[in-house]
Chains A and B, each alone.
Chain A
Amino acid sequence: MRRQRWSLYTVLAFGYAFLYLPVLLLIVYSFNESRLVTVWSGFSLKWYGELLHNRQLLDAAWLSIRIAATNATFAVVLGTLAANALVRHGRFRGRTGFELLLTAPLVMPDVIIGLSLLLLFVALQQSVGWPGGRGFTTITVAHITFSLAYVAVVVRARLAQIDRSLEEAAMDLGAHPLTVYLRITLPLIAPALLSGWLLAFTLSLDDLVIASFVSGPGATTLPMVVYSSVRMGVSPQINALATIIVVFVAVAVAIAALTTRGLGSTRTGRRPTRD
């Protein structure tokens, strides 16, 4: 028994090494002075300096952040509505189709989503004159379409867990259903809304394929810039960028974990155990 546990833990350790080693190497080599990424020639911050003067990359990053934030906000609203529908409306007509449409974006290959949305935008442009050029709007709409499915998964799980008796109590005391939803339900699912927002934000910030399809001239997102410089091979500036992203994500996840825990312990609305 004991020997089996050890071999299990060995596989586990190997798995974690496999998952983390590549990113750790990127971080280490971002401080390397040499342009040859694999030869260590001394500590240097010069790639970070170059990164900060890379106008094209900074503009792209700013565009990506704006798209990601807009996308996340819309996706949280739509995803929460969809989660409400699935958890609170039982077996409504067309539920199977609804669930199918909500699952599809989770697995559908990016190339299909990207191509089909581009063809839609072209057709819409021809028939109704919207969206009037491709760029910020088209990328954001495309991102909302797949992000809302992820948000729905996160919010749905939380919504199914919360204690309904709190809502029932408020209702019995004569509160309007909308008031109950806003004052009782929303605070209870707030942690899920936060993680849903962050998830949608990162998904958007990360997308290369869909954005490449639905973008137009003049709208270049961060992944598009990264992709075009990475295709040429290894670039120390991208290593520096990777390090910044990893640090940023680590801080964000730590904050999210702490807030969720704080919210979770005080406000899950779970019945206190009586013993």
Chain B
Amino acid sequence: MASPFQNRPRPTRRASRLLNIGVPYLWLGLFLLLPVAIVLQISLAEPTAAQPPYAALWQWVEEGVLQIRLDFQSYRLLWSDSLYLASFLNSLQVALVCTLLCLLLGYPMAYAIATAPERWRLPLLMLIVLPFWTSFLIRVYAWIGILKTNGFLNNFLLWLGVIDEPLAILYTQTAVYIGIVYSYLPFMILPLYANLTRLDPTLLEAAADLGCRPLRAFLRVTLPLSRAGIVAGSMLVFIPAVGEFVIPDLLGGPQTLMVGRMLWTEFFSNMDWPLAAALALVLLGLLVVPFVLMQRWQQGALEDRP
């Protein structure tokens, strides 16, 4: 990139580099990268009843002799106790289902906004973003009142006569699906919208001129061209959903096993920090691939900007 700043006096440019690159790098290195290294270290420590509740990984036994004790017990436990494996699988399943539901609802919404008359687009988009500014915790809490046995939804359905007795939705996995789709829908719509508005409308006109029906044109032209947006939106929903804690904890039942909740319990209730650290690392490992996918898209999206 040719920058007019290249002709700055040299010392100024160096100072600017040091400040702009160095300071954020240092901060993120210290508070984002280093902590992950420490998680790895603690996950290999032995849990104890001390404060903090793990044994030191290394110690000087005598002058010049360093003793290092690595304890793989936490990882063994993760593998051998089926509860942990089940919670990982269930988290992935919940995240996958929610991503698909968000896509099913979010795509037509993004498409409708992107093809709406121009002066309507910005207000419509604002309405998508607005709930994001109010408290996430309170918005999830709102669903308790709606989904509970004598809640709004059941009363409404009873009044309509669709059901004869209240449905048990709250404290089930269905409630977790609803909560996650509700909370993450805007993250699906925004990248899809950004992608769909950049689409060249003359392509669809060309398809129509050549006798292609609207549905077919959509499937053969619009959908393939919006693949980047679909991937980005899906990752923005999928990645945080896998590790979600608040939603399964407030809306899910005791049988809703999810990693985020498991980690919380191990840490706060069982005080097993090494096990919680091992859970965090395995979860992080699972998310690396989707993360790289998303990162690629982001770079592509920023580079093809005029």
Q: Given that A101-B32, A168-B4 are contacting pairs, would A82 and B24 also be in contact in the complex, using a CB cutoff of 8 Å?
A: yes
Note all chain B residues with C-beta closer than 8 A to A176. 12
Which stretch from B69-77, B79-87, B223-231, B235-243 is at the chain A interface?
B235-243
State the CA gap A167–B36 with chains docked (Å).
Answer: 40
Residue B58 interfacial (CB < 8 Å): no
B24 near A230 (CB under 8 angstroms)? no
Q: Given that A92-B17, A234-B144 are contacting pairs, would A111 and B245 also be in contact in the complex, using a CB cutoff of 8 Å?
A: yes
Residue B139 interfacial (CB < 8 Å): yes
In residues 74-132 of chain B, which contact A (Cβ within 8 Å)? 105-106, 108-109, 111-113, 115, 124, 126-128, 130-131
Q: Given that A115-B263, A223-B135 are contacting pairs, would A120 and B28 also be in contact in the complex, using a CB cutoff of 8 Å?
A: no
Q: Given that A38-B150, A78-B24, A120-B35 are contacting pairs, would A107 and B131 also be in contact in the complex, using a CB cutoff of 8 Å?
A: no
Of the residues B52, B246, B294, contact of A122 by C-beta under 8 Å: B52
Note all chain A residues with C-beta closer than 8 A to B180. none
Residue B151 interfacial (CB < 8 Å): yes
Residue A109 interfacial (CB < 8 Å): yes
B3 near A23 (CB under 8 angstroms)? no
Which among A82, A144, A167 has the greatest number of chain B C-beta atoms within 10 A?
A82
Chain B, Cβ-Cβ closest to A8: B112
Note all chain A residues with C-beta closer than 8 A to B32. 101, 104-105, 113, 145
Residue A186 interfacial (CB < 8 Å): no
A147 to chain B, nearest CB (A): 11
Q: Chain B contact residues (Cβ within 8 angstroms of A): what range?
A: 35 or more
In residues 245-275 of chain A, which contact B (Cβ within 8 Å)? 245-246, 249, 252-253, 257
B291 near A104 (CB under 8 angstroms)? yes
State the CA gap A141–B35 with chains docked (Å).
Answer: 13
In residues 1-52 of chain A, which contact B (Cβ within 8 Å)? 1, 4, 8-9, 11-12, 14-16, 18-23, 25-26, 29, 37-38
B35 near A230 (CB under 8 angstroms)? no
State the CA gap A171–B134 with chains docked (Å).
Answer: 43
State the CA gap A18–B145 with chains docked (Å).
Answer: 15
A101 near B29 (CB under 8 angstroms)? yes
B138 near A102 (CB under 8 angstroms)? no
Chain B, Cβ-Cβ closest to A106: B236
A111 near B135 (CB under 8 angstroms)? no
Residue B177 interfacial (CB < 8 Å): no
Q: Chain A contact residues (Cβ within 8 angstroms of B): what range?
A: 35 or more
A112 near B182 (CB under 8 angstroms)? no
Q: Interface SS of chain A: helix, strand, loop or mixed?
A: helix
Q: Given that A103-B294, A205-B135 are contacting pairs, would A109 and B283 also be in contact in the complex, using a CB cutoff of 8 Å?
A: yes
State the CA gap A202–B138 with chains docked (Å).
Answer: 13
Of the residues A8, A18, A23, A177, contact of B16 by C-beta under 8 Å: A177
Residue A219 interfacial (CB < 8 Å): no
B112 near A12 (CB under 8 angstroms)? yes
State the CA gap A38–B150 with chains docked (Å).
Answer: 7
Q: Given that A15-B109, A100-B295, A117-B35 are contacting pairs, would A246 and B267 also be in contact in the complex, using a CB cutoff of 8 Å?
A: no
Q: Given that A103-B294, A112-B243 are contacting pairs, would A148 and B112 also be in contact in the complex, using a CB cutoff of 8 Å?
A: no
B31 near A111 (CB under 8 angstroms)? no
A22 near B3 (CB under 8 angstroms)? no
B277 near A119 (CB under 8 angstroms)? yes
B31 to chain A, nearest CB (A): 4
Q: Given that A23-B139, A104-B32, A242-B138 are contacting pairs, would A111 and B280 also be in contact in the complex, using a CB cutoff of 8 Å?
A: yes
B1 near A90 (CB under 8 angstroms)? yes
Q: Given that A23-B134, A103-B295, A120-B34 are contacting pairs, would A8 and B280 also be in contact in the complex, using a CB cutoff of 8 Å?
A: no
State the CA gap A206–B137 with chains docked (Å).
Answer: 7
State the CA gap A231–B31 with chains docked (Å).
Answer: 31
B243 near A88 (CB under 8 angstroms)? no
Residue A226 interfacial (CB < 8 Å): yes
Residue A162 interfacial (CB < 8 Å): no
State the CA gap A142–B28 with chains docked (Å).
Answer: 11
State the CA gap A110–B246 with chains docked (Å).
Answer: 10
23 A-B pairs (CB sep. < 8 Å): A8-B112, A12-B112, A25-B145, A26-B138, A78-B23, A84-B20, A85-B20, A90-B1, A101-B32, A107-B240, A107-B287, A108-B287, A109-B243, A113-B32, A116-B35, A120-B31, A213-B267, A223-B135, A230-B137, A231-B249, A234-B141, A242-B141, A252-B133
- A: residues with CB less than 8 A from B are 1, 4, 8-9, 11-12, 14-16, 18-23, 25-26, 29, 37-38, 78-79, 81-82, 84-85, 88-92, 94, 98-105, 107-113, 115-117, 119-120, 122-123, 141-142, 144-145, 148, 152, 160, 164, 167-168, 171, 176-178, 202, 205-206, 208-209, 212-213, 223, 226-227, 230-231, 233-234, 238, 241-242, 245-246, 249, 252-253, 257
Chain A to chain B: the 6 pairs with minimum beta-carbon distance, closest first: A109-B243, A116-B35, A22-B142, A82-B24, A85-B20, A120-B35
Q: A26-B142, A116-B35, A242-B135 are in contact. List 11 more A-B contacts (CB 8 A).
A: A15-B105, A22-B146, A26-B138, A85-B20, A102-B28, A107-B236, A109-B260, A115-B280, A171-B4, A245-B134, A252-B133
